[in-house]
Chain A
Amino acid sequence: MRPKPKLDCRAKSHLSYFAYVCHRFSGLLLACFLPLHFLMLSQSLRGASGFERSLQLTDFWVFKFGEWALVILLAIHLSGGVRILIIEFGAWRGLRKGWIEISILFSIVCGLLFLYLAN
């Protein structure tokens, strides 16, 4: 694979670069989180009581904040990913900055909805 090309400040100040960074950052964090999430869920192999004991280990504000952040990261990566798929497989129509704004809005709505619904 070729090394990453060097970008000047004009490219980095573009909204698309912000979308690219958000997609990469959220993807990287989600990839690191996935094995831990599956490890927690696999504790259900020990039955309901064993699973409950493991769930109680995460009953701290740090983990609650982490869950909220992960839902936002998931929403960012989902909307950013759909945008990339439309760019790569859809018909070309202008700069499509609006999609980035929709992605940001979608992530904020998901974050707020989680806060509203969580106990």
Chain B
Amino acid sequence: MSKEMCFEGVLQAKLWYAQRISAMILGICVSIHLAIIFYAIRGGLTAQEILGRTQGNLLFALFYEIFVLACFVHAPIGMANILQETFPKLSFAKPISWVLALLILLLGSSAVIGIYSGGIL
């Protein structure tokens, strides 16, 4: 087996574990998030209501940052797998997954800072 193939195999195994471990974290986070959605949508959603729950609440901020980080790991790996399996001859799976990963990390963390601080701009 060539060195390159060996490296690719080890990388795939690491990505598989990363996706499974992040899936375990997401399983808990999504269950809690669904419960929060069902609680929050009663009577409609307003900015005041959302910020009233989250502003200054460190537990909410910590929970949602963990949620964002788990998404940052989980979603791009899944996207790369789907793209590579669907279009095996094309090589855009990795760049698209990296763009998705960065968007999730940057926008997700901005969202967490926003709902925790209640506005800093």
Contact = CB atoms under 8 A, between A and B. Distances in A.
Interface string B91-121: 0000000001001100110110111011111
A24 B20 CA distance: 15
Which of B82, B86, B111, B115 is packed against the most chain A CB atoms within 10 Å? Answer: B111
Which of B37, B47, B118 is packed against the most chain A CB atoms within 10 Å? Answer: B47
Given A44-B111, A51-B51, A52-B46, A28 B79 contact: yes
Contact of A81 (B23, B47, B84, B111): B23
Contacts of A50: 119, 121
Contacts of A24: 82
B2 interface: no
Given A3-B88, A4-B88, A38 B104 contact: yes
B48 A52 contact: yes
A117 B27 contact: no
Interface of B: 8, 12, 20, 23-24, 26-27, 30-31, 33-34, 37-38, 41-48, 50-51, 68, 71, 75-76, 78-79, 81-82, 84-86, 88, 100, 103-104, 107-108, 110-111, 113-115, 117-121
Give the 7 A-B residue pairs with the shortest CB-CB distance, closest first: A47-B119, A44-B114, A41-B111, A38-B107, A52-B47, A42-B110, A51-B47
